[in-house]
Amino acid sequence: MQNFDLIVFDWDGTLMDSAVAIARAIQAACRDLGLAAPDDGAARHVIGLGLVEALQYAVPDLPERDYPRMAERYRQHYLAREREITLFAGVEALLLELAARGHQLAIATGKSRPGLDRALEHSGLRRHFVASRTADCCHSKPHPQMLEELMDELDASPDRTLMIGDTTHDLQMAHNAGVGGLGVSYGAHPPEPLLALRPLACLSSVAALGDWLRENA
């Protein structure tokens, strides 16, 4: 028997190995604007958040009027490396297996809709997902709106929904929506803050994630 009808994945740092590219693009954009670049920890912490929330944390001294300029510089740096970014090994095989077992698969991401569309096209994963939500059409994580809308759309109950992500933002969103949260520590955030939020488990690789899902999902 399945324990979860709906399995929702974060994108960056969970399915795609993009955390380093995002952090480097944030740091480069800061230098372009003559600002002190956040260290790696601060730059990686904001992965998964919406644009405004990410800038407020990573570049707290940036005036709000400069957010569009910062966003444009970030976008240019990220796009320059986007085609080089790959999925974590084993991701597509895991998605195929989950879909074959009857799970509905969805995405809840801090990306914009155009950014997610590019990533789905580049990775070839679009066909595996029945729905998605992005940060430009919903409140930023950890607000529960993304998960609430996905559950409404796909007729899934909170007790039958699982959120998988690599950041504390993902796990906090799962808690706020009343769904199960599963952490992965191979992406943006280290295991200690993930474990502090008491996820169902915290897995260190896609292979370990697959093993957990086969036994528990």
Kindly list the catalytic residues.
Answer: 10, 12
User: Count of CB atoms within 10 A of residue 41's CB?
Assistant: 11
Distance CA(84)–CA(60), nearest Å, equals 30
Amino acid identity for residue 71 in this structure = A
Q: Is-contact 107 159, C-beta < 8 A?
A: no
Total residues found in the chain within this entry: 217
The Cα-based distances of 104 to 6, 67, 156, 188 in angstroms read 5, 36, 9, 25
- Helices 145-154 and 168-177 cross at an angle (nearest 10°) of 60
Sheet holding 131-133, edge to edge: 131-133, 104-108, 6-9, 161-165, 180-184, 202-203
Find out whether the peptide bond into 142 is cis, omega within 30 degrees of 0. yes
Both structure tokens of 4:
């979860």
- Residues 6 or more apart whose CB falls under 8 angstroms from that of 81 comprise 21, 24, 25
